[in-house]
Structure 1
Amino acid sequence: MADPSKILARVRACGANILLDGMRLEIVNPSRLPEGASAFIRQNAKAIAAFLDSEAEFEERAAIMQFDGGLTRPAAEYLTKLLLSSPPAGADRADWSWFVSEAAKAIDHAIPRRAA
């Protein structure tokens, strides 16, 4: 199976884009894509949709931390990556949850806030 992030990068490099409307993919500027690209996108639609859904969740969480929490954008993205990450192989899920919570507290206290 192809990597959805690489598919999106190639599509966007052509001047097109793929949007997720519910669970339906919409290709923006499909005429800019090379022949066969639309069929390839359809073949990988489930993986692309799942990737776009997780990308949207990431953006939403980072924006909330940035605008409501007062974090800088880089700090908000860093914390979002941590919060959405899976535990390392062999790690207990409860231990990982505790670690992420403690790391988030440390980041919350250590990272400078943007000016109000």
Structure 2
Amino acid sequence: MADAAAILDRIRSFGANVVLDGDQLRLINSRKLPAEARAFLAQHREAIGDLLRRDREASFEERAAIVEFDAGAPREWAEAFARFLTRTKPAHVSEIEWSWFLGTCGRMIDEAPKVAA
């Protein structure tokens, strides 16, 4: 079986990428890949998906811990914010709207200790 990390590195070297969209894999910039790449990716989609899910979970835990300890936010708030930080932007939302939303949530998190005091 091929190494999923090596496959992702190769895909990214072409200027393409594979991301998790919910629980589904989504190929970004597929036109930059050689013609045979799609079939190869389909063969290894389970391993790639498992790797991306593990990475997402590790990223989630790290971000939640940072928000909880550095910002002094309650764990529930930290986990809720981390879920948004580690997910793919919804397709119907613009980059500006998504950035505004995350920034607004971040400001609310920053004020959490003041609310609790």
TM range (shorter): 0.5 to 0.7
TM-score, structure 2 normalization: 0.56
Q: What is aligned with 1:4? A: 4
Aligned-pair identity in percent equals 35
Distance (Å, rounded) in 2 between the aligned partners of 1:16 and 1:5: 14
Q: Which residue of 1 aligns with 2:80?
A: none
Structure 1 residue 22 corresponds to structure 2 residue 7: no
Runs of 4 or more, structure 1, over 6 Å off, are none
Structure 2, unmatched stretches of 5+, are: 72-117
Determine if the alignment matches structure 1 residue 70 to structure 2 residue 70. yes
Matches within 5 A, 1:45-60: 45-60=45-60
Deviations 1:52-96 (A, max 9, x none): 10010011111112222229xxxxxxxxxxxxxxxxxxxxxxxxx
Counterpart-to-counterpart distance in 2, 1:19 and 1:53: 10
SS in 2 for 1:42: helix
The alpha carbon displacement at 1:23 in A equals 3.3
Q: Which letter maps to 1:58? A: A
Where relative contact order (Cα < 8 A, 6+ residues apart) is larger, the structure is 2
User: What number of residue pairs does the alignment pair up?
Assistant: 71
Q: Which runs of 5+ in 1 are unaligned?
A: 72-116
Q: Which residue is 1:44 aligned to? A: 44
